[in-house]
Amino acid sequence: MAHLLWDMIESAGLSRTLTDVAVAVAEDARDCKRKKVVAGRAQLLAAIGKKTAVLLVGNVALEGVTAKRGIKQKRGRPWEDADGNIYIPCLPPGMIAYDERTTPLIEADVRLIADVAKSGKIPRENALEFTIVDSRRKFDDMVADLRGTVSYDIETGYEESPGLWKATLNPWKGHVDEDGEWVLDARIISIGFGTRARQWCLPLHHPEATSFGLTHEQMFASIDRQLRDCYLVAHNAKFDSLWLRIHYGVDWRADFDTMLAHWMIDENQRHGLKLLAQLYYGAPNYDADLDDKAGAGPLGSHCLYLAHDVYYTRALRFTLGKEMAADSGVERAFHSILMPIARLFVDVEYQGVLVDVERFEEAEVYLRTKLKKAEKDLHKAVAADVEGYEPGSINWRSTKQLAELFFDKLGLDVLDRTGGGAPSTCESVLKRLAHPAAVDLVEYRGADQMLKMFIDGWRPFLVKHADGWRLHPSFKLHGTVTGRASCERPNLQQVPRDSLIRSLIGAALGWSLVEIDLSQIEMRLAAELSGDQMLLGLFQRDEDVHWMTAIREIGRGGGMRDEVVTTAVEFVKRHPGTPWLKGLVSGLDKPKPKGQPFYRASIEYAQALEIVYKMGPDVAAEILPVWKELRKKAKAINFGYLFGMWWKKMVIYARDNYGVRLTDRQAQESRKVFFGLYPGLASWHERQRKHAQRHGYVRSLSGAIRRLPAATSHRDSPERGEALRQAINSPVQRFACELNFMVLLQLVEEFGLDVVRPVGTVHDAVLMEVRDDMVPTVVARADEIMRRPKMLDELKINLRVPIKGEAKVGPWSKGVSLDRWKKSRSN
DNA sequence: CAACACGGCGCG
DNA sequence: AAAGCGCGCCGTGTTG
């Protein structure tokens, strides 16, 4: 590693200026045991002596001097000791071998070394012109300077105990006071603005902040007025805008988010501001300690840090703007979809979702009881088979201990292994283990999972408002490589589908929760993009593609004879007048034979299957519930094969999810049938793969790009295979969620936040609170918008496949159609 | 004590 | 040769 770095230094033409540099290198961090580090440290300290610069290459070298690790955080930030030695922590160049994304960082390290060697000093950002606003005069100057393109950034924290400031990213952090009111503990420590000429740092709750005759409210009123005509730029603007909205009531919407812009430019990279500053401008690693940002450190260094942030944020707006302009598709998707939805998500997160806390407590009691019972059953079941077993000796949450129990002590067969090769104890294995304890463990895990994720997991995030308790999940618009949003703290997108937890989420009094979702959107888009005639035809005739697959799957093997015939017969009995039955059931118009149902004999399997298909899954499920399950299974088949699943995995999938035993042959056959049914999909797969292989990327209809560099490799590898499958999946997944965003944007644009309050998205669905008196209007309009969002016209995107969606009104998972909602309200 | 990987599981 | 995609969060266990 030392040689590698030295080569880089030499090729930068620096070796002669660096004769006075000691290089402290850990040859291999992993082999370096503690003793060796200590020895190395003594050597190192001796070597440092009169040197002007010390390179600390890698974690062990860093630890040798500072007794602390964390090279990734510390790198690029040199410091000077009392004797004037300069220490420069850097990444080991060998790191490039297993993470090529570190290349620019290592290059930046070399540049930094060069700088230090030439000047003998730690470089300063000399373009910086920052002012700490600590007087009325400076404040007025600042306000007057807020013109044109202005970047902004805040530092946040809270006072844990008097005088002790800690970092927090949660703008709602607070507590309930004696009067039962929610009091915010979170504070905006300071705010910075970057203009063409300067960087302004306005301390707000920093301990050293001085008062100069203006309240914060007065300051923000002035700033707010001035900013209305500015082009606002921020890095992860949603964060700053949300905090400012909560704490100062100002509504600032960024025109350009540098983090999101960089994500559009390369979703595979990381998007941190410090990283980008180093990447694009060779900036020093100016990152500060987390608690300094929160106000624990001196105001001077706090503001210096803030100044760097707004300086580089503003600079990035121009650099990234230009870079994005090189690709009109990317630019268009950024400005017409991403920035608008990013601005809207400030409202989404500000609103939060309402939680029924009374029923929340009930759910907790229910789950704790269930957990207790499962634990008791577990004890019993294990005690019966294990000699000398003592309750409490096994941690039921430990996969390691469970594996020992099942496969060593009880001697059960290892049915599957984990990715790491350990005997698996996952649900699908447990269900196949012939032991009562396995059954109990499934129960235990179920209750435990709900409790830890949604009861204990939610509690710290509950915030009290005038209209009830709310969660304010944070959405990451850059959270995926495909364009979907992800969600965290807590993750609203992983709430179980069954109603125990899901229905705790509702709406305020006078409002109703409305969920609209785009039906089978990924399948529809696959039809669109592939141009498969069968799929397109299905959707154009408004038939159900999963149902089609389900019926085909059964029909192929002639399975479920009883269910098929029973369901068809029952349907004929219930709906004899159905027009399309004519011709399908021979003898319908003939007189009924005495004593027996006339149709029983005359409905053949093939006919019956046709009838079942035509009645659709909902009607069929009313007759036999099994149809619902069957359609779900078909859905999995569709998605699996659609995106490149191989038959072998299908066998496992069918077994684990549906208890269906498929032979290898059957699975191979089912895959063949699938692509036989939709031949256009196969050729589309080929097109996508070819494109990715040739160009190294694929594109969504919106213009956004998914970069797949691994796809261009000529060598066949697992990475390339993965990239080629992503080439098929990404454009579908991306455009699906973009459509969802379009629908959401248009709804809010048309009705305004007084009528429609969006509270979240779940990939192809929107959750919102709708004012009760407007529910029918909004739902009707949502139905129209989903069929054709106007942004499709603006972006000149034409779809052959019809899009449609569904709306449900009422607590989540208990929502009903608009008609049923109206009826239930009129009673 | 903190950071990390893993196993497991929830969602679309 | 090997083959669905995309996420977040929890507890355990290891490591340093």
pLDDT in tens, A120-143: 777 766 678 899 999 999 999 999
- Of all residues in chain A, the percent with pLDDT exceeding 90 is 67
A657 touches strand B (CB under 7 A): no
In this complex, the nucleotide whose C1' atom is nearest to the CA atom of residue A69 is C16
Residue given tokens 């969920």 in the structure block? A515
| Cβ–Cβ under 8 Å, residues A127 and A311 | yes
Max distance between CA atoms of chain A, in angstroms, equals: 113
Tell me the average pLDDT across A606-634.
90
Residue A43 has pLDDT above 50, yes or no: no
Kindly report which listed range (A289-298, A434-443, A509-518, A597-606) carries the lowest average pLDDT score: A597-606
A505 CB less than 7 Å from any atom of strand B: no
Q: What's the pLDDT band for A53 if we cut at 50, 70, 90?
A: low
Q: Which residue is nearest to nucleotide B10 (CA to C1')?
A: A494
Per-residue pLDDT band at A111 (split at 50, 70, 90): confident
pLDDT (mean) for A84-111: 72
pLDDT tens for each residue of A223-267: 999 999 999 999 999 999 999 999 999 999 999 999 999 999 999
Rounded, the Å distance between the CA of A491 and C1' of C9 is: 8
Pairing of strands A149-161, A231-234: parallel
Nucleotide nearest to A643 (CA to C1'): C4
Of A26-35, A39-48, A169-178, A539-548, the range with the lowest mean pLDDT is A26-35
Distance A105 CA to B11 C1' (A): 36
Name the average pLDDT for chain A: 88
Q: How many CB atoms lie within 10 A of CB A202?
A: 25
Bond into A490 cis (ω within 30): yes
pLDDT of residue A21 exceeding 70: no
Comparing every residue's Cα with the C1' atom of nucleotide C7, the nearest one is A486
Using C1' positions and the CA of A496, the closest nucleotide is B10
Of A79-93, A341-355, A770-784, the poorest mean pLDDT is in A79-93
Q: Which nucleotides of B are covered by protein (CB under 7 A)?
A: 6-12
A476 touches strand C (CB under 7 A): yes
- Residue nearest the C1' of C12 (CA based): A398
Q: Residue A784: how many CA atoms within 13 Å on its side-chain side?
A: 9
Whether any strand B atom is under 7 angstroms from the Cβ of A764: the reply reads yes
Residue A318 CB lies within 7 Å of the nucleic strand C: no
Interatomic CA–C1' length for residue A476 and nucleotide C6, angstroms: 13
- A275 or A632: whose pLDDT is higher? A275
- Residues A109, A6 contacting (CB under 8 angstroms): no
Say yes or no: Cβ of A733 under 7 A from any atom of strand B. yes
A36 touches strand C (CB under 7 A): no
Strand-pairing partners, residue A203, are A190
Does A802 score more than 80 pLDDT? yes
Percentage of chain A beyond pLDDT 70 is 88
Of A105-109, A319-323, A560-564, give the lowest mean pLDDT range. A105-109
pLDDT value of residue A656: 80
Residue A801 has pLDDT above 70, yes or no: yes
What is the Cα–Cα distance from A232 to A826, expressed in whole angstroms? Answer: 48
pLDDT of residue A353: 97
Residue with the two structure tokens 């990447």: A279
Range of lowest pLDDT (A75-84, A418-427, A611-620) = A75-84
Q: Band of the pLDDT at A25, cuts 50, 70, 90? A: very low
Rounded CA separation A400/A33 (Å): 27
Q: Is the CB of A404 under 7 A from strand C?
A: no
Residue A493 has pLDDT above 70, yes or no: yes
